[in-house]
Amino acid sequence: MTRHLRPRGDDVRQPTTTIELFFDLVYVFAVTQLSHLILEDLSVAGVARAAFLLLIVWWAWIYTTWMVNWFDPGSSAVRAVLTGVMLASLLMAAALPGAFGGDGVLFAISYVALQVGRNVAAARLLERDQPLRDVFERLVVWSAASGALWLAGAALHGDQRLLVWIPAVVLDLCAPVVGYWLPGRGRAATTDWDIEGAHFTDRCEGFIIIALGESIVVTGATAAAAGLDATVVLCLGVAFLETAALWWLYFGVIAERSREVMRTCEDPGRLARDAYTYLHVPIIAGVIAVAVGDDLLIADPGRPLHGVGVTMVLGGPALYLVGETLFRLRLTGSASPERLLIAALLVALTPAGGGLSALALSALATALLGALALWDLRGPLGTRLGPATDAGVTRVGDLRSHQHQQEGTTS
């Protein structure tokens, strides 16, 4: 029913509501769980498991963000759905450390209940003639198909679950790319995903704040537990400056431009899918890796790091910069050679990183990120970002013609 949907119009502003912020609190906990998972198992396998689980956490959050971009949280029915989604998200987050152990069944059931339940509830809130009804009916089918794999994998033990869970993740990740294709219906067009671009941008920026805030929480708690002597205070300052540089690199240059592009582009659904749903994953993964590196720094600043520890300190910022560059490129059509240069330098320093103390290594990474943030301060914004080309603002006629040709071929 239309009363459950947000109003649309050129003069209608869609602010982030308090229940959306309340919902985000669960994901603060989820991101913290992921960083702790890596710290407890500082190995390649441990990092791989955490990266796999990050995809699930992000997929649960971003799909709910899509829903709330359409549905009005002022509706009691929508609030009830979001409350149920929050509970399922909390159970999923609590089960993350044991997802490959004794809590695998709870993890899978929570995730499936979250995804399938939200999509079914959204479809039932819409009238048959509402265009979004088709979108959520497609989502129900795809989420139920992947949900069957999640539940089947939970019946296995340990890493054997990946034999079924990896195909489930592939199914989840491929669904938007193929337009939630269904037999007899073909593909959905992204131009049918009538999202409010400014609200969607604000929500995804909010998740970046969640990840950065979690980094501050982890380093602050570790510093307090270690004792605030002069060395620990110095390390805390280095960690904070690194987090501040990450914040500036995302919010200082491109944030305002991204809102403008999302407000004015002819196909915000496609752009939200590409630039936010997919390309924000490496950015968030980089922030989590930086948080792990900062924790290692404060725990023992004089000890040299090796292997995965060095990768967290240097590879985390590099991954963040690569992700942020891809996001910028897709959104504005303009890359950032400076970011790629610093990312390459951080990767090149990794083999020699084991010869430096944790403090020296972290200070080096912070200095490079800080220099990049200062580089961004030069000149007016318009001289640093290219024009919004097909990556952002496109000619709607050409785009829809091309898209419908593709749909006709696939159906």
Question: How do residues 27-68 score in pLDDT, each as one tens digit?
Answer: 999 999 999 999 999 999 999 999 999 999 999 999 999 999
Give the residue from 188, 216, 231 where a domain finishes: 188
Residues 213 and 178 in one domain: no
- Show the domain range for 121: 20-188
Q: Give me the pLDDT at residue 392, please.
A: 42
Phi-psi region of 184 (alpha: psi -120 to 50; beta: other; left: phi over 0): left
pLDDT of residue 226: 86
Read off the pLDDT of each residue in 368-387 and give the average, rounded to a whole number: 69
Q: Do 367 and 226 lie in a common domain? A: yes
Q: Are residues 291 and 369 in the same domain?
A: yes
Number of domains the chain is built from = 2
Helices (H), 125-254: 131-154, 162-174, 197-226, 230-251
Q: Are residues 307 and 224 in the same domain?
A: yes
Task: Give strand pairing partners of 357.
Answer: 304
- Does 404 fall in a domain? no
End position of a domain, from candidates 157, 188, 219: 188
Higher pLDDT, 393 or 326: 326
Give the mean model confidence (pLDDT) for residues 363-382. Answer: 82
What average pLDDT does this structure show over 380-384? 44
Specify the residue for token string 């709910």. Answer: 64
Asked if 33 and 178 sit in the same domain, the reply is yes
pLDDT in tens, 87-145: 999 999 999 999 999 999 999 999 999 999 999 999 999 988 888 899 999 999 999 99
Give the end of a domain, one of 188, 211, 226.
188
Close Cβ partners of 214 (under 8 Å, ≥ 6 residues apart): 28, 31, 32, 35, 287, 288, 291
Residues 376 and 279 in one domain: yes
Residue 201 lies in a domain: yes
Q: Are residues 380 and 273 in the same domain?
A: yes
pLDDT of 379 = 52
Residue 115 has a pLDDT of 97
Same-domain status, 99 and 216? no
Q: What is the mean pLDDT of residues 62-82?
A: 94
Q: How far apart are CA 143 and CA 122, in angstroms?
A: 13
For residues 231 and 179, state if they share a domain: no
- What's the mean per-residue pLDDT of the chain? 87
Q: Domain for residue 8, yes or no?
A: no
> Which tens digits make up the pLDDT trace of 183-236?
988 898 888 787 888 889 999 999 999 899 888 888 888 899 888 899 999 999
Same domain, 184 and 216: no
Give the domain CATH number at 217. 1.20.1410
Select the more confidently predicted residue: 117 or 268: 117
Task: Read off the pTM.
Answer: 0.88
CA–CA gap between residue 102 and residue 107 (Å, rounded): 10
Q: What sign has the CA pseudo-torsion 24, 321, 50, 221?
A: negative
* CA–CA gap between residue 235 and residue 297 (Å, rounded): 7
**251 plus 119 within the same structural domain:** no
